[in-house]
Structure 1
Amino acid sequence: MKVIAVIPARYASTRFPAKLMQELGGKTIIRRTYEATVETGLFDDVFVVTDSPLIYDEIQSHGGKVVRSVKEHESGSDRIAEAIAEIEADIVINVQGDEPFVNQDNLEKLIEIFKADQEKQVDLASLMTPIDDWERIENPNNVKVVVDEHQMALYFSRSVIPYPRDKETKVQYYQHIGVYAFRREALLEFTTWPMKFLEATEKLEQLRYLEYGKRIKMAITKHTGVGIDTPEDLAYAKTLLTGE
């Protein structure tokens, strides 16, 4: 089973333009993410995929592997699918380019799902974390997921799911962490499917997989990552790096 990591890296960002080229501990964020992913030793190959000549040159000039994206894409799945169309792999893991503190334990959990799936019943794997704070549960920016007894995803929503009709019922809510591992075939199929009602309504691309009958297995984690979306996030990341 060949497992690769793909790091999508767009230059444009609404909240923090050119964030991936910002300096963090003497290296750009995207270079630090790439090197940290390679250093896990979990992957047969690691690639950055980018639409930016600056990011392309940054990775290539430091000996990394990078693929130039030539099309405009509406979703992360489409962008990764273009990159891996000519790359041999069985499992493709999407590593976020703006999370330089790569969590090896999370990546291992995703890989283990496919190693254990001898009958190839799982098409995608992803992560979820328990949440108990009601404000976080109600926040539509926090995507919730419900699963069956085998931790297969039943639905993802920005709404409160399940809805606690009986307030005395003890419910464990889970927030979806948007890190994915794909079977290569499922990822390439995604690009051929038109968007359906649920994805269009919730604006969640993972619902397209469910609407077309793909099976997503979830793993529980308490490591939610340190994403860099604002200058304040970058300042915090620098304190984590230096310990100050």
Structure 2
Amino acid sequence: MSVLILIPARMASTRLPGKPLADIAGRPMIVHVANRARQSGLGRVVVATDSPEVADAARAHGHEAVMTDTKHQSGSDRVFEALQTLDPEGKIESIINLQGDLPTIDPAVIQAALAPLDDPAVDIGTLGVEIVDEEEKTTSSVVKIVGSPVSSTRLRALYFTRATAPWGEGPLYHHVGIYAWRRAALERFVSLGQSVLEKRESLEQLRALEAGMRIDAEIVNSVPLGVDTPQDLERARALIEGR
């Protein structure tokens, strides 16, 4: 299976402006993410950005970068444009959409996102983590996977929600938004308009489920640290610098 890891990155973060270039232990954050993607050993790694500064930073540290349109509404659209630019002949079979704000992510977690595509019935692979914090079970900022187990480490996603679900006794799972796409699934997804439930929950992945695509989630042990605020950035610095 030919795999391309694309890391969408834009400078226009509202809570942490200039986030991709934030310094962590002497390197921009986007470079840390690209380094970890490369360490996964899955395939070619490219930063997809609308910012020449981000592209220059990635290239200065030995990574590929591709420029994309400034008007994309989602990372999926940016990833699809980058794919068309990098592989117009359609040789790449699978694409991993890895967010550019996960500088401490374990390369094994990136590998886990691709694992569900071993099943030819699966269109999109993603990740889940069992929720252990009681507060996270009820907060709307933590997206939950409602899924049916297909193995001890994998769920077939039936729904994603900001509500506390499913009801009753049993584990709840936090969705980690890293996606491994079959090429045909990504092409179909970006051709669709926003769906009703996608708009209602503000969750892009519901568009795929409403269109009949299958998403399976591999269960991993911890949620990667996403850097959205100055406080998150300090935590990432402390982790990488060993403080």
- TM-score surpassing 0.5? yes
Q: Which letter maps to 1:198?
A: L
CA contact under 8 A between 2:40 and 2:108: conserved in structure 1? Answer: no
CA contact under 8 A between 1:78 and 1:191: conserved in structure 2? Answer: yes
Q: Report how many residues are paired.
A: 235
TM-aligned CA deviation for residue 51 of structure 1: 0.7
Instruction: Say whether 1:85 aligns with 2:88.
Output: no
For residues 198 and 144 of structure 1, the distance between their equivalents in structure 2, rounded to whole angstroms, comes to 14
For residues 197 and 31 of structure 1, the distance between their equivalents in structure 2, rounded to whole angstroms, comes to 37
Tell me how large the CA RMSD over aligned residues is: 1.4
Instruction: Say whether 1:189 aligns with 2:192.
Output: no
CA contact under 8 A between 1:128 and 1:175: conserved in structure 2? Answer: yes
Question: Unaligned 5+ residue runs, structure 1?
Answer: 165-169
Question: Unaligned 5+ residue runs, structure 2?
Answer: none
Alignment of 1:38-187 (within 5 A): 38-43=38-43, 45-86=44-85, 87=87, 88-114=91-117, 116-117=118-119, 120-150=120-150, 151-164=155-168, 170-187=169-186
Determine helix, strand or coil for the equivalent of 1:204.
Answer: coil
Q: Percent sequence identity over matched residues?
A: 38
Q: Which letter maps to 1:99?
A: L
TM-aligned CA deviation for residue 184 of structure 1: 1.0
For residues 4 and 12 of structure 2, the distance between their equivalents in structure 1, rounded to whole angstroms, comes to 25
TM-aligned CA deviation for residue 71 of structure 1: 4.6
CA contact under 8 A between 1:125 and 1:216: conserved in structure 2? Answer: yes
CA contact under 8 A between 1:78 and 1:190: conserved in structure 2? Answer: no
Determine helix, strand or coil for the equivalent of 1:92.
Answer: strand
CA contact under 8 A between 1:85 and 1:188: conserved in structure 2? Answer: no
TM-score normalised by L of structure 1:
0.91
Q: 1:167 — aligned with what?
A: none
Instruction: Say whether 1:37 aligns with 2:37.
Output: yes
TM-score normalised by L of structure 2:
0.92
Q: Which letter maps to 2:125?
A: A
